[in-house]
Amino acid sequence: MKTEIISKNTLLEHWLGHRNLTRQTIDRFPEEELFNFKVEGMRPFAAMVKELLGIAVPGLQEIVDNKSGELDENLNYSTKAQLLQAWDEATPQIIELFGKIPEERFTEEFNLFGQYKSPIIHSILYFIDNEIHHRGQGYVYLRLLGIEPPFFWERE
């Protein structure tokens, strides 16, 4: 027991703020380019978003159930509206599942997706960092398309 530098709820709020910004980023893409525009050697932004969706709720569910499963990022969303709807539906699930992880478990090891064994806090920071990483890439895609990305600090 120590003075905590960040509470569980503050970390969740921080992630949800990032998710708001990612949602705005998805929304800036024209439908066609969201699914088809890409830089050589990379994926379209929609594929990155499917990866994020395949990680967040399923990853938290595994942690809550304390039972490893398989990573599936090939989700069947083919329109921007479907992708945004999936994004919005994930939000209350993230809030509920995150809330079910007791503080004591964050420092415990868990074998995420049966292949990434690390303390739970590392997995959760990975979820957030990976989202920021891919969204940063989405910003460059938008710029290449001549579209202004949302402000990085707009999290509401």
Our CB check for its own copies shows the closer of 5 and 156 to be: 5
Our CB check for its own copies shows the closer of 77 and 106 to be: 106
DSSP structural state of residue 31:
H
Q: Measured from the CB of residue 28, what is the shortest distance to its own copies in angstroms?
A: 13
Q: Which two tokens stand for residue 117?
A: 């064994």
Q: Measured from the CB of residue 77, what is the shortest distance to its own copies in angstroms?
A: 22
Our CB check for its own copies shows the closer of 3 and 76 to be: 3
Q: Measured from the CB of residue 16, what is the shortest distance to its own copies in angstroms?
A: 13
Measured distance CA(99)–CA(14) in Å, rounded: 14
Footprint of its own copies (CB under 8 A) = 1-8, 10-11, 14, 18, 39-42, 103-104, 106-107, 119, 121-122, 125, 129-130, 132-137, 139-141, 143-144, 146, 148, 152
Q: Measured from the CB of residue 12, what is the shortest distance to its own copies in angstroms?
A: 10
Our CB check for its own copies shows the closer of 81 and 100 to be: 100
Q: What is the 3-state secondary structure (H, E, C) of 107-156?
A: CCEEEECCCEEEEHHHHHHHHHHHHHHHHHHHHHHHHHCCCCCCCCCCCC
Closest CA to 28 of 154, 156, 141: 141
Closest CA to 39 of 137, 150, 147, 152: 137
